[in-house]
Amino acid sequence: MQEETVWITKAKEGNQHAFRELYATHADPLYRFLRQFSSDSDQVEEWVQRAFIKAFLHIGSFEGKSRFSSWLFRLGLNEMKMDVRRTQIVAFTPTEEEQEESDHGAERFEWKQLMKMWMDELDETKRGVFILYEVEGYSHAEIASLLGIAESSSRTLLMRAKRYLQDRWNKENLR
Amino acid sequence: MIRPDEFYSADDMPDENSRTKMWRFIESRVPLLGSRSSSSRDYRIFLYGMAASIVLMLALVGAWTLAMQALENAQPEPIRLERAYVSAIQEFERVVPSVAAKADAKPRAADELKQRQEQLRLINAAVTDLRRETNGRDLSPLKRERLRQLYSQELKILQQMIEAGDIEL
């Protein structure tokens, strides 16, 4: 974390190596997070690129009050939302191969696939809150700032997302 | 809490090609990364080039001066002496044009100046003839002596003109 602060300071001074380090650290987490909102890898790459470009162009305005990753995630989410508003993104559906694996593969993989399918049925905000809180480990305060919502809304949305997923899980098990 | 490696699958991660592709795109769009790096590199190369050119130029000038000095020192004494005279005369001649301007202001002194200028012209003509004869290499003591006399006369006339205030220094 302290090392990251050093890289950010150096990046603000125009150190190219620092930009490269920030990219190396945050590209994968941002990509995998945004990947949950689209099955089109090219589309996800574009969001990641745009988020990094904005972050690097405006790194001088980053005050360090929040984590760099949460600032970057917010930029990535904004890019994603902008495109979602423009066009309806193709919903996540597992590939045939994945579906097959899901049918015959390990239980964990099945759980993953199901979870992702159900999550796709959630709206973007609920999905975002769920992943950010449950998977990425952000606090409600951070999520609230990241998504531009109230902290209490973040809690409510998470609760609703969990309840929805729980219902789907119960239904699946009753089959 | 779900562990990220449990939640995300390998398919959710970008591969190496994708990472490189994204970085290249970002690099091309952020002036601080792509263009600035190349422009600062160009600027550095330009500075090194300029510094190298200056060093080379100074070295050439130094080498040229040394060569000329060596050549000069290799000349016999009378020729070097003659060159010194010629150089002194040329320096004086450089200031002579101001005489004409001053002569216009004092009509009486103009005649004297004209005379002196005529004398200078004649001496210069004699020097030129003699130098042509000696061709700069004839070391005959008689010709050298004659040449020195002419230079001496010329310098005297110029000295008189300076003392009379005809030549503004």
Question: CB neighbours of A59 closer than 8 A, spacing ≥ 6?
Answer: A8, A11, A12
pLDDT at B15: 92
A136 vs chain B: nearest CA distance in angstroms? 7
What confidence tens digit (pLDDT) does each residue in A115-125 have?
Answer: 888 888 898 88
Listed range (A30-44, A68-82, B146-160) with the worst mean pLDDT: B146-160
Chain A residues with CB-CB distance to B26 below 8 A: 23, 49, 52-53, 56
Residue B74 at interface with chain A, using a CB cutoff of 8 Å:
no
Buried b / exposed e along A50-87 (16+ C-beta atoms within 10 A): bbbbbbbeebeeeeeebebbbbbbbbbbbbbbebeeee
Chain A residues with CB-CB distance to B12 below 8 A: 31-32, 35-36
Chain B residues with CB-CB distance to A107 below 8 A: none
How would you class B62 by CB atoms within 10 Å of its CB: exposed for 0-12, middle for 13-18, buried for 19 or more? exposed
Are B29 and A16 an interchain contact pair (Cβ–Cβ within 8 Å)? no
Torsion of CA B110, B115, B116, B121, to 10 degrees: 120
In whole angstroms, give the CA distance from residue B119 to residue B112: 11
Please give the distance of CA A75 from its chain centroid, rounded to a whole number: 11
Are B14 and A45 an interchain contact pair (Cβ–Cβ within 8 Å)? yes
Confidence of residue A50 (pLDDT cuts 50, 70, 90): very high
**Mean pLDDT, range A86-110, rounded to an integer:** 49
> Could you give the 3-state DSSP secondary structure of residue B160?
helix
Residue B43 at interface with chain A, using a CB cutoff of 8 Å:
no
Angle at B9 between CA B8 and CA B13, to 5 degrees: 85
Instruction: Give the C-alpha distances (Å, rounded to integers) separating B109 from A148, A173, B160.
Output: 98, 129, 13
Are A14 and B32 an interchain contact pair (Cβ–Cβ within 8 Å)? yes
Confidence of residue B98 (pLDDT cuts 50, 70, 90): low
In this complex, which of A28, A56, A115 lies closest to B14 when CB atoms are compared? A28
Report which of residues B105 and A141 the model is more confident about: A141
What confidence tens digit (pLDDT) does each residue in B83-94 have?
Answer: 777 787 777 667
pLDDT beyond 90 at B166: no
Query: Which contacts of A134-138 are long-range, i.e. CB under 8 A and separated by 24 or more positions?
Result: A134/A158, A134/B1, A134/B2, A134/B7, A135/B1, A135/B2, A135/B3, A135/B4, A135/B7, A135/B8, A136/A29, A136/A33, A136/A73, A136/B4, A137/B1, A138/A70
Domains, chain A, with CATH or none: 1-90 (1.10.1740.10)
- Taking alpha carbons only, the member of A113, A46, A112, A49 closest to residue A83 is A46
Residue A60 at interface with chain B, using a CB cutoff of 8 Å:
no
What's the mean pLDDT when you consider all of chain A?
Answer: 84
Query: Which residue in chain B is spatially nearest to A16 when comparing CA positions?
Result: B33
Question: CB neighbours of A109 closer than 8 A, spacing ≥ 6?
Answer: A101, A102, B9
The residue assigned the tokens 């060569």 is B67
The residue assigned the tokens 């490696």 is B5
**Mean pLDDT, range A111-132, rounded to an integer:** 85
Instruction: Give the C-alpha distances (Å, rounded to integers) separating A136 from A33, A93, A163.
Output: 9, 22, 19
Confidence of residue B169 (pLDDT cuts 50, 70, 90): low
pLDDT beyond 70 at A154: yes
Give me the amino acid identity at A152. Answer: S
Chain B residues with CB-CB distance to A7 below 8 A: none
What confidence tens digit (pLDDT) does each residue in B16-69 have?
Answer: 999 999 999 998 888 877 545 556 667 788 889 999 999 999 999 999 999 988
Q: Are A79 and A133 in contact (CB under 8 A)?
A: no
Chain A residues with CB-CB distance to B33 below 8 A: 16, 19, 56
Query: Which residue in chain A is spatially nearest to B27 when comparing CA positions?
Result: A53
Residue B4 at interface with chain A, using a CB cutoff of 8 Å:
yes
